[in-house]
Amino acid sequence: MFEKFSRSWALVKASAAVLRSDKELMLFPVISGAATLVVLATFLIPMSLLGVFAEGFGAGSVVFGFLFYFCQYSVMIFCNSALVAAAMIRLDGGDPTLSDGFDAAKRRLPAILGYAAIAATVGVLLQSLKNRDGNFIVRLIGSGLGAAWTLATFLVVPVLVSRDVGPIDALKQSMSLLKRTWGENAIGNIGIGAAFGLITFGTVLLGIALTVLALQAWLGLAILVGGLFLVAVLLLGVFQAALSGVYSAVLYRYAVSHDAPEAFRGLQLEHAFDKR
């Protein structure tokens, strides 16, 4: 287990090196975030006015919930597909642009929308389990199933981008690859999430403390300090999303080809995906 943790952390660091070498990759999560905010506003306003969730998780809320999840997942998966496609070009020694990534995603749009529909259905079902008031066991099961779904589908996007397959076949191939990459998959996901969670938490605490101190001197200074730390937190989120996309591309690329990119030479990857 220690060997898997060490190797996974090395993969994460190497992924960060790839990301630093091509900072344009971080524009994909920025575009994704802006688009998902537009989708959120588009649904939130009418849902609030109509009181869709006022009486709990009924038939109307299920329909709205599915449509919301479908639109959100379509945007996020499309942008993530563009990021992964660009990352794979970079790993092959190329110099990808935004248009290269989005062109690759557009070519796979039908499969992306199909997978978004599947993910939306699962999302609604998991959310219904998590929202069971007074039933801690069911909510716990929902959280566990959500974590399992995240791991099982971590390589769906690289599969969709790299292979001419439909969403169901992409899911099957992702779950098949999970059997060979479960250690690196789980440790990488948890490691990236935990590391950025701690950094973000520390940044928020420091930002609050300095903003309060600045407020003692001048309101304008407090607004400036608070705004700078807000930007820092947003940038951390962008970097985390981009790093996760690059990491998924790396896991998939080596799992299927056993060809280590230049940035990953010397990490003894020949043992990373051996069947156990």
Give me the mean pLDDT over the 36-44 stretch.
85
pLDDT the model gives residue 196: 81
Query: pTM for this one?
Result: 0.80
Token pair in block for residue 159: 């599969």
pLDDT the model gives residue 271: 46
pLDDT the model gives residue 161: 92
Is pLDDT above 70 for 197? yes
Cα dist from 248 to 50, 52, 85, 153, 157, whole Å: 40, 36, 11, 10, 8
**Which of the two residues, 272 and 198, has the higher pLDDT score?**
198
83-87, 124-128, 158-162 — which is least confidently predicted?
124-128
Q: By the 8 A CB rule, do 96 and 86 touch?
A: yes
Is pLDDT above 70 for 50? no
**Which of the two residues, 152 and 35, has the higher pLDDT score?**
35
CA Rg value for the chain: 20
pLDDT the model gives residue 276: 40
Please report, rounded to a whole number, the percentage of residues in the chain having pLDDT higher than 70.
77
The structural domains of the chain, with segments of one domain joined by +, span 2-271
DSSP state, residue 266: T
